[in-house]
A and B are shown apart, each in its own frame.
Chain A
Amino acid sequence: MSVADWPSWPFMIGLGVVAHGPAVLSSGPDIGIGLRCIFAYPEGLLVSMQIRAVDGAGQLLADMLSHAHAGAPRRPHVPHSWLQLTVLDDGEEMPLTGHHSSGTSISAGVTDDGVQTAGYDRDVDAWVTGTPARGVLEIRTGWPEVGAPMTTTHLVMEGLTDLATAVEPLR
């Protein structure tokens, strides 16, 4: 499913329990895809991720995204692609039913050596319906087209018991 098809984001449901802290999920030359944290709710998990690309990968993404804007300066053609993400519980794929992203940024600069460079930052917050029955979440993610290989990471969740009372409602 394309992230563009995901329904509205579910943040309003409350203050989720921190079930996992930071972890690098995929890394390649000049690019990293990381987990900031996972918030757990009775209904599911909010997987908060960060993409950071610099130098070669940052320039590649800058070129790719430049074609998404009418009137953008002409740059080398880079086929459009997107972060790949699958979340599994005991081998079963879990539905990604919510999405929110913010903080996308493309930056340009010059190093002290006079080399032009570019950077790309993006927050990706994926909503996963359900919680892993055995407390272990499997995340497969990557962005091979820009140098981040598909990588599988197993995360041991904490605090998944009694979520109904542990989660502080906002409303």
Chain B
Amino acid sequence: MTEPDQFRSGDRGDPEGMWSSLGGIAHGPIVLARAPHIVIAVRCVMAFPEGLRAWLVADTTDINLIPPAPSPPANHTEAAQRLHEWEQWPGPADDPVVHVTVNGHRRRMLMLDGRSDDADPGAKHIDVPVRIDGLPRDGLVHFEVSWKPGLPLTSKTLHLPQLQQALTEVRHLVHSAWGSGRQVPKCS
């Protein structure tokens, strides 16, 4: 089976178990990469039997150091086209580029749902949990991040020695037959 080459924040295709459970904390906060006026970090990594959820944060106080934001769409048609393009690849042009490798599978993370509209003028802030399918057999999660030109490509590997302990701390939130059926998102 071909696996998707990207993950999306807020993806309603998340496994049911990740929606109906509270993940154990497998890793605490850590900076993945930092450059003057730019930082990309992990607030924490939550573990579920189906995989991980990494709470990512990207922040810059100078948007001149990152790619320019796309201009507002001129009309509804253009807006719909742009959304369709983002759903395919590669996301907003002014977003950081984040790839995660687990068990040899490298995928891009898209952070579409976590942007802040009230960041300071001239700044940009993204704060969002993203899903990582599968649990690392070797306990390693490899990040590659960049936000060019201000932040060059940087690699960071997280070690999750507490992964098994974190899995014992998973709490089931609600019971349902929901996961057995077809799901059709209506709005978000």
Enumerate chain A interface residues (CB-CB to B < 8 A).
8-9, 11-12, 15-18, 21-24, 27, 30-37, 39, 50, 52-55, 58, 100, 102-113, 115, 117, 119, 121, 168, 170-171
Contacts and interface: CB of A to CB of B under 8 A. Distances in A.
B56 to A, nearest CB: 11
A170 B39 contact: yes
Given A34-B173, A55-B176, A11 B46 contact: no
A110 B22 contact: no
Contact of B185 (A34, A37, A39, A105): A105
Main secondary structure of the interface of A (DSSP, over half): strand
A112 B172 CA distance: 22
B44 interface: yes
A170 B41 contact: yes
Contacts of B127: 11, 100
A50 B20 CA distance: 10
A24 B43 contact: no
Contacts of A113: 177
Given A102-B10, A121-B19, 19 more contacts: A12-B119, A15-B57, A21-B24, A24-B22, A33-B173, A102-B113, A102-B128, A105-B10, A105-B12, A105-B188, A106-B187, A107-B184, A111-B180, A111-B181, A113-B177, A115-B181, A117-B177, A168-B30, A170-B57
A55 B177 contact: yes
A76 to B, nearest CB: 17
Interface in B138-188: 166, 169-174, 176-178, 180-188
Given A52-B174, A55-B176, A106-B187, A16 B43 contact: yes
Contact-residue bracket for chain B: 35 or more
Interface string B21-55: 01111001111000000010101101000000000
Contacts of B170: 22
A34 B25 contact: no
A52 B61 contact: no
B61 A171 contact: yes
A4 B150 CA distance: 36
B108 interface: no
A35 B166 CA distance: 15
Given A104-B188, A111-B180, A117-B181, A34 B43 contact: no
Interface in B95-119: 113-114, 116, 118-119
A88 to B, nearest CB: 22
B171 A109 contact: no
A21 B169 contact: yes
Give the one of B20, B30, B178, B182 with max A CB within 10 A. Answer: B178
Contact of B57 (A11, A58, A104): A11
Given A52-B174, A107-B12, A168-B41, A34 B22 contact: yes
Given A11-B127, A22-B169, A103-B10, A50 B59 contact: no
Nearest to A111: B181
A44 B114 CA distance: 22
10 contacts: A11-B116, A12-B59, A15-B57, A102-B113, A105-B187, A109-B182, A113-B177, A119-B19, A119-B178, A170-B57
